[in-house]
Each structure stands twice: as structure tokens, then as C-alpha cells.
């Protein structure tokens, strides 16, 4: 299939599916100015060791250094704005073509774009909690304390160390992952967007879907199982999908 035929096929699949979802990774947010993690030459984890800088053990062993390594990146996530790919997925949900979005991203951009059913399998940066008393707070407590020179940030109640509600390396998966695994039961179409599907257990989720569409710049282990594979910029692909979808509706 050429590119136009691939777009037409995706539109046909969306229109004929009864239980379609999207699974997104870091690639959908690069056009919002957020670097991805594993692209050759540019990926964040090529520049730093995630176990030494961004893991549960790094937080436990040297919490002040952990925040020095991560806070600038998280601030960038929180200040980013959705791009066309995020908005298109939200619109597809509103139009009834998607039942929701499962995302590996912690940047919150799907919710900002208006997606209502979002499973954030690696957590998010809206809240944080005390590692001692477990009380939960707004994430803003962390940068507010760091700005005052309090590093690591401490719980206002018991002075335990505060951590964000994200899944760090070595952490168990968030409850959203198990919910996502359940909602994918009976999934007849999964749009895989901006993820190379190399990190488990999320990389196993496509096995729960009957049909796959993959939109990603790099190859994935599931390419040979997909109905359609497109290696183009995500915003371009979704502009063409939405344009063609609306053409077929009006026609």
C-alpha cells in the first residue's frame, strides 16, 4: 500500500471497529517539545543512566540528587502543550471512534487535549505522596519546596520524603495498567502511536487486540502483525486521517 491507501485503510478500520483504543508512547509528545527516551542518538536514556538517576533506588539512596536529576525534565513536561496528535485522539473519542487512550506518558497531554478516558499506566505529575505516612498532595508541593531550597521535598505532616505519583524504574506498575489490561478485552482495533513497544509489561498489551495499526517513526516488534504500519510524523498522519474521515462522513 502507498501512503494514501494506508490512510484510507485506517479510516475503514476506525469506521468498522466496535471497540477501538489507542496506545501511545513518548513519540506522540515530541512535537510538543518533549524529547523521547530511546531514539538512537537523541534519546534521553542515551545521555543518562535511568537506574542511577531516575529509579526507585536512586530516590531512596540519594533523594536530593534524584530531584536534581529529574525536576527540570518534569517541569518541561508540565509546561508543555498538546499537539495535533493529542487533539485528534480526543476528537476521535468524542466522535465515537475510540473508546479511550492508554498512555505510557506521564506528561498529562492527553487530558489537556480533552481525552476523557485515559489510562496513565506509568502514572502522572498531578499529585505526589509522602513515602512515610502515604498522605497525598498536589504535585506543586514539590517545586514549591525545591524553590525554597528544601531538597528533598518533605511532607508537611510527618517530614517524610515526598515523591511524585509516577512509576519509576524498579517500581510496580500503576493500577491504571491493570485497568487497561481489562478494558482491552474484546478490543478489535488498537492504534499504536509513538511507541516502539520495547518496554514490558506495556509492550505486551497489543497481544490483547484483534487488529493493530502502528504509527511510529521507528520499527516495532509488532510491525509484521499490523494491518497498517506508517513511519511518518504523527501530526501529519492524524491530519490526513481526520480529513479523510470527515470526507467519508460527508460523502
Can you spell out the DSSP letters for 93-161? HHTTS-S-EEE---S-HHHHHT-SSEEETTEEEEEEEETTT--EEETTHHHHHHHTT-SS-B-TTT-PB
Cα–Cα distances in Å, from 244 out to 4, 8, 12, 94, 234? 10, 7, 10, 17, 15
- Whether 158 has a binding-site annotation, put simply, is yes
Among candidate residues 215, 186, 201, 93, the one with its CA nearest the CA of residue 101 = 93
216: how many CB neighbours lie within 10 A of its CB? 23
Torsion, CA 91, CA 75, CA 194, CA 57, rounded to 10: -130
* Cα-to-chain-centroid distance, residue 148: 31
Question: Is 128 annotated as contributing to ligand binding?
Answer: no
Q: Please report where in the chains the cell 506498575 appears, as a residue.
A: 173
Rounded to 5 degrees, φ, ψ at 23 are -120, 115
122 counts as catalytic: yes
Confirm whether residue 187 is marked as ligand binding: no
- Cell 538517576, residue located: 53
**Among residues 110, 122, 124, 129, which one is catalytic?**
122
**CB-side neighbour CA atoms (13 Å) of 229:** 12
> Residue 147: how many CB atoms within 10 A of its CB?
8
- Is residue 139 within 8 A of residue 153, CB to CB? The reply is no
Residue 193: its H or E element: strand 189-193
Residues that constitute the known binding site for Zn(2+): 130, 133, 155, 158
Active site positions, annotated:
122
Amino acid at each position: 500500500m502507498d501512503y494514501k491507501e494506508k490512510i484510507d485503510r485506517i479510516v475503514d478500520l476506525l469506521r468498522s471497529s466496535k471497540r477501538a483504543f489507542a496506545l501511545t508512547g513518548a513519540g506522540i509528545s515530541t512535537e510538543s517539545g518533549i524529547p523521547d527516551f530511546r531514539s538512537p542518538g537523541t534519546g534521553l536514556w542515551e545521555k543518562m543512566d535511568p537506574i542511577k538517576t531516575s529509579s526507585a533506588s536512586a530516590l531512596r539512596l540519594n533523594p536530593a540528587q534524584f530531584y536534581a536529576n529529574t525536576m527540570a525534565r518534569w517541569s518541561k513536561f508540565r509546561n508543555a502543550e498538546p499537539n495535533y496528535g493529542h487533539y485528534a485522539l480526543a476528537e476521535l473519542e468524542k466522535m465515537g471512534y475510540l473508546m479511550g487512550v492508554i498512555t505510557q506518558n506521564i506528561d498529562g497531554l492527553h487530558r489537556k487535549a480533552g481525552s476523557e478516558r485515559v489510562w496513565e499506566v506509568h502514572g502522572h505529575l498531578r499529585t505526589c505522596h509522602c513515602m512515610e505516612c502515604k498522605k497525598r498532595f498536589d504535585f506543586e508541593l514539590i517545586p514549591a519546596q525545591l524553590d525554597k531550597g528544601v531538597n528533598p521535598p518533605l511532607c508537611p505532616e510527618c517530614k517524610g520524603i515526598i515523591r511524585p505519583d509516577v512509576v519509576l524504574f524498579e517500581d510496580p506498575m500503576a493500577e491504571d495498567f491493570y485497568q487497561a489490561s481489562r478494558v482491552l478485552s474484546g478490543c478489535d482495533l488498537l492504534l499504536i502511536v509513538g511507541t516502539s513497544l520495547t518496554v514490558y509489561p506495556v509492550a505486551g498489551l497489543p497481544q490483547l487486540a484483534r487488529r493493530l495499526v502502528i504509527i511510529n517513526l521507528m520499527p516495532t516488534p509488532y510491525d509484521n502483525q499490523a494491518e497498517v504500519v506508517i513511519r511518518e510524523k504523527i501530526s501529519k498522519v492524524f491530519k490526513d486521517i481526520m480529513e479523510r474521515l470527515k470526507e467519508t462522513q460527508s460523502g
